[in-house]
Amino acid sequence: MIAVYPGSFDPITLGHLDIIERGSRLFGRLIVVVMRNPSKTPLFPVDQRVAQIQQATQHLPNVEVDTFDGLTVTYARMQGAKVLLRGLRVLSDFEKELQMAHTNKTLAEDIETFFLATSSEYSFLSSSLVKEIAKFGGPVDHLVPSAVALDICQCYAKTPPTALPQTATEPAPTPASMERRAESVE
C-alpha cells in the first residue's frame, strides 16, 4: 500500500523523521511530499528541503521524496496512494488534523487519513520552534538531522551545531517550556 506524508518540512525535524521511519514500517511505499504553503515564508527553498529529507531518509529503501503544489488528495491520486499519513503531537494538532481529514474525505472518499502519535520525546518539537531557537543563536543539532543543523547554522550564521553550555542565569530549556514557546509562535 502507498502512503503519502505531506508537509512543508521547513526544516525537517527529528519528530518528522520519527513519523517517516515508523510509517515506512507500516506501508510498502511511503512518499514524503514537500508541499508549498503560500501563507508561509520558508527558511529553505523547496529543492533544498527535498535534498535534506532525501539525505535524512537514505537508509529507508521504501521512502521517496517529492514536491507538489496543489491539493494533497490530488497528489495522492496521481501516485495511486490510498493513505495520507499525519503525525500528532498535542491536542491542538488533533483538532486541526481531524478537520483536515474530514475536508479531504469530502474531496476524495477513497483516501484515508492515518494518524501516528509522535514519540513522546518529540511531542514538543515543531519546525517553527527550531527556527526560533536558531534565530536567537541556540543550538538545534539535537532537534534536527545533523546536515540540516549545518544548513540552519549557515542560514542564521550563528551557533555552530554543538550544544552550548548553559549559564547560571539561563536555565536549560525543558520540553514543556519549549512547547509553550512553540504554541506562542504558531
15 annotated ligand binder = no
Question: Are 71 and 107 within 8 A, CB to CB?
Answer: yes
| Phi and psi torsions of 7, nearest 5° | 175, 175
| 25 annotated as ligand-binding | no
40 assigned to active site: yes
- Please name the amino acid found at residue 149: A
Is residue 127 marked as binding? Answer: yes
Judge whether 8 is annotated as a binding position. yes
Report whether 126 belongs to an annotated binding site.
yes
Catalytic site residue from 16, 24, 49, 131: 16
Identified catalytic residue from 39, 59, 96, 127: 127
- Active site residue: 25, 29, 36, 40, which one? 40
CB 146 within 8 A of CB 11: no
Catalytic residue flag (residue 96)? no
72 is known to lie in a ligand binding site? yes
For residue 49, indicate whether it is catalytic: no
Told to judge if 127 belongs to the known catalytic residues of this protein, a careful annotator would answer: yes
Binding-site residue set for substrate: 8, 40, 72, 86
Binding-site residue set: 8-9, 16, 40, 72, 86-89, 97, 122-128
Binding-site residue set for ATP: 8-9, 16, 87-89, 97, 122-128
Catalytic residues: 16, 40, 89, 127
